[in-house]
Amino acid sequence: MLQIRVKPGIEDKIRGFFPWIYRPEIASYSRKPKKGELVVVRDFGGKFLGYGYINPEVSIAVRILSFDKTEPVTPELIKRRLLQAYNYRKRLYINSNAFRLVHSEGDLLPGLIVDVYGEYVVIEFTTFGMSMFRETVVDALLEILRPKGIYEKANLTARKVEGIEVEEGTVYGSVPEEVIIWEHDLKYVINIPQGQKTGFFLDQRNSRSFVRNLVEPGDRCLDVFCHTGGFALNMKKMGAEEVIAVDLSELALEVGRKNEELNGLSGIRWVNKNAFDYLKELDTMGEKFDVVVIDPPSFAKNRHAVPNALRGYKELCVRGLKLTKSGGYLAIFSCSFHITEQHLLEVLTKASYDVRRQVRVIAKTFQDKDHPWILQMPNTLYLKGVWVEVI
């Protein structure tokens, strides 16, 4: 097996269970590495640090799967980790038949995402090394879940960066274009082939539940970057008189309308516009809302994009604060690791100063518990939200 040694000083973070090794941190190879092959990681003096896989063509060259010398990376290890992930979810008592089964590094399976939508499973490989275990993963999922179908999503970033060559589509059984799931007392239509991520924002389950605490019958509510209407539907379900849901994707809005009809709801206004432009229009018209939720896509794919992303968040917070009634509530989210909770608090503070509105933080929410994060790896905590009352 390929052996690598890391540069002096790098071993400390690895012994602290940080599973990534960047290419410049590698001191030497026992031979020329091949993309996707397994590797033994050693410190500069030759002591064992871990087992992983390597892709010498990318920035994160090695991802470690085992820090235990007696636990090498084998198909049996992958299957055992999948079963552990499943048993963990069973203990969570999630009030839905849709959940994330494997959350990459959060489940000690870097490069693998597995989402369950009722009787159907969606898998996504984000690294070349993990894609080498595709057959093992599929076999284990069939044994554990016995699904009607398994669909593989092609991660475009992984294709470009990691060099994964895969055709998106069904890899087992049959998967219909649309699947209906339930969460709490609502149903949702999931378009697996065309939906964002693997079809639905499962990570926002906790926040969709939390928004119900803020809505009172007769309220006016605004769901910005609404996708298929997760927040909008929950606000309407709680008796909001008027709900406006805005998104740039007509496909997402079409599914949102189906969700509204599926749940016997009516009165949501689905707006197909650029969110920044539409918020400006609402502000110009002097519109006010009781609850405003702003859940934008990732503006910062890497740390270099953070300054521009913060400018975008600042504008969203300014518009959101202007549109929220006194005594109303505003929520702002980030789904990028690079935009931290502290960033959100800072842009909210600056925005509140600019618009002369006093705000009170009432809650902070994160990705739901089926998207676990590892304390020693901050990168696994990516979704965070700040909820404020506008005084």
Catalytic residue positions, numbered: 335
Which two structure tokens, joined as six digits, stand for 315? 């504008």
Radius of gyration of the chain from Cα atoms?
Answer: 22
Strands 242-247 and 220-224, sheet pairing: parallel
Chain centroid, CA 383 distance in Å? 7
Report yes or no: 107 and 81 within 8 Å, Cβ to Cβ: yes
Element (H, E) at 250: helix 250-262
Residue whose pair of structure tokens reads 């500069």 in the numeric block: 44
Query: Over 348-364, what HEC string results?
Result: HHHHHHHHCCCEEEEEE
**CA neighbours within 13 Å on the CB side: how many for 200?**
34
Distance CA 36, CA 2 (A): 11
Strands 289-294 and 324-334, sheet pairing: parallel
Distances (CA, A) of 27 to 30, 62, 68: 10, 13, 22
Find all residues with CB under 8 Å of 313, minimum gap 6, and list them: 296, 299, 332, 334, 339, 343, 344, 347
Locate the DSSP E strands across the chain.
2-6, 20-22, 26-29, 38-42, 48-54, 60-66, 98-103, 112-117, 120-125, 149-153, 169-173, 178-183, 186-191, 220-224, 242-247, 268-272, 289-294, 324-334, 359-366, 384-390
324-334, strands of its sheet edge to edge? 268-272, 242-247, 220-224, 289-294, 324-334, 384-390, 359-366
